[in-house]
Amino acid sequence: MIAREDFARQVGSVFRIVGGPFDSVELRLAELKDGKAAAGYELFSLFFQGPTQPRLEQATYTLSHPALGTNPVFLVPVAAPPEGILYEALFNRRQA
């Protein structure tokens, strides 16, 4: 399990989708936002900026990153600014 701090260090870097019909699509980790979690849990969102095409549907994608390895992440499209599509990955999990 990748720690929140590991993601925080990668804001601005590029993740690549591997496998499936969107193999090699690149997403830039644009922002990490903390949420208000219950005691003993952590809640944070990752926001990825992707290209306008192809537009990814809400689904689990395998993301590859040079420092973090390869991990499945559930992405949801949340906005479509002119520069591309913004996707959110929400993490709500028990703290180690």
Largest CA distance in the chain: 40
**Number of domains the chain is built from:** 1
Q: What is the domain extent for residue 84?
A: 4-94
What is the CATH classification number for the domain harbouring 59?
A: 2.40.30
Q: What is the DSSP letter of 72?
A: E
Residues, the chain, total?
96
Residues 3-31 have pLDDT tens digits of 899 999 999 999 999 998 999 999 999 99
Of 35, 40, 38, 44, residue with least CA distance to 8: 44
**Token pair in block for residue 80:** 């479509």
Instruction: Kindly indicate the confidence band of residue 90, based on its pLDDT and cuts at 50, 70 and 90.
Output: very high
Integer Cα distance of 46 and 59 in angstroms: 15
Integer Cα distance of 81 and 70 in angstroms: 27
Residues 21-71 have pLDDT tens digits of 999 999 999 999 999 989 999 999 999 999 999 999 999 999 999 999 999
